[in-house]
Structure 1
Amino acid sequence: MPTTAGIPDDVRAASLERARRMRQQPRFPGGPAADPAGSHHERRIRSFQPRRSRVTPGQQNALERLWPKWGLDIDGLSVLDLPALFDGLPVVLEIGFGMGEATAQMAADDPGTGILAVDVHTPGQGNLLGLADRNGSTNVRVANGDAIILLREMLEPDSLDGLRVYFPDPWPKSRHHKRRLIQPEFLDLVAGPLKSGAIVHCATDWEPYAEQMLEVLTAHPLFENTVADGGYAPRPAFRPRTRFEGQGLGKGHVVHDLLFARV
């Protein structure tokens, strides 16, 4: 029975299935999967937008060479052995690293700390791998996929020494605020893998989001502001200026850092 578009249902179904399979194929042999968690996890509103922009030859080279060594897909099917993955180093989780310049700099400046860096942006993944390789940094692992699945399914309790969320998407429209990452439910989830005393470090140049972050973190019983007056923190020296930060400052935005300790 033909559809209203004049295409038989079986042909349309076969075409959709081929498109689905293509979306799930890695763009590079042995590289990050297009949809690592596949369909075995629930569909929900996500706090990120996957971006498949152009990959440069250098980024492609880094993905092909280094992904098998330093990359992993967030498939939700197994629990990570962080001590083995990072040779016993304390591990900080970074969610959303953009093009990876700041992450690579922090890794080079502090080789005694492992950074598990999560993003879905393929060019950024390749760029971070290439930067770490050029810097001689072996303390970075790049994770591809949904950080929520990573936190919920793939990390042991008390396995993280810190969390960094720098310049997440502010979702400025009111109807999109539910997509913002820093919410009470997210803090409930991240509290499990974080060790007592671990630092949650957030930074944003979007004033309303900074206010929400401060309100949500302050209200949560498992996190305590490291600032005595309960406000924003000065930018720590270890956090380099990110590309997004530079863009925000260029627009006249004020950058706020928040540092809260896991109780």
Structure 2
Amino acid sequence: MTRAGLAAARSSTAQLAEIVPRVADEQWDLPSACAGWRVIDVMAHLAALATEAVDPPPPDPSSPSNRERYHDLRVDERRSWSHAEVLDEWRRSTPRQLDLLEAAQEPPGGTEPVDVPGLGTYPRHLLANTMAFNVFCHLRNDMLAPDGPLPFTLPEPTDSLVAPAVEFMLAGLPQMQGPELTSTVGRPLVLDLTGPGATTVTVLPAAGPDARLTVAPGADGSTRITSTALDFIAWATTREPWRDYCRITGDTSAATPFLDRLNII
């Protein structure tokens, strides 16, 4: 089970809770580093995720199938809310979300597959890593300086915060873009992530015409993409250009199409 993911989700949430009271009212309306969203919209997104986790809405066939557009829709629904209303929802739903994620670590339910529309299928226990990724990424990349507008600082990220976020990203990598990304991988690509959250995996080509690429632990290829794990969170979500953070050894032409197309949500 991914109790490390649960611990990371709780830690990043606690850090966000320390920042929230320090934000002046006018700062909530500053543009975040997440295109089209103000700082308060980032909070609305996290609040919406928490609320849907604890009180799932009925299926709506009219909802966008694209996960990013779906998130935009949920944020747009809250744009008329006051700052206090958005923050109240976040404070109300987030502890319940964390409690549910803790319960999801226990067998046998923790191994049950859960379909996340637009993102893929994951064992229930890994949803804790999803929250760890979301809170960590939005807080540090979209809200806080230097990329975001809020002039507050946090302690340097540790392995215990970064590794669970990266674990979710690697689990989602083969699923989120389907054939669009699979078609870019013609030979094994070693992804070597260093620093806090360090791991080495190999992105393997699809085994057949109807299969998708896979991610396997360890290095099994001559083309290597090296980056820090912390930078991976930024460039693999297209917040930053990968060329500024990655070093490729081996066949650059084999790695470039994959890196150009990768966009983990």
Q: TM-score, normalised by structure 1?
A: 0.32
Structure with greater strand percent: 1
Q: TM-score, normalised by structure 2?
A: 0.32
Structure with greater helix percent: 2
Bigger CA radius of gyration: 1
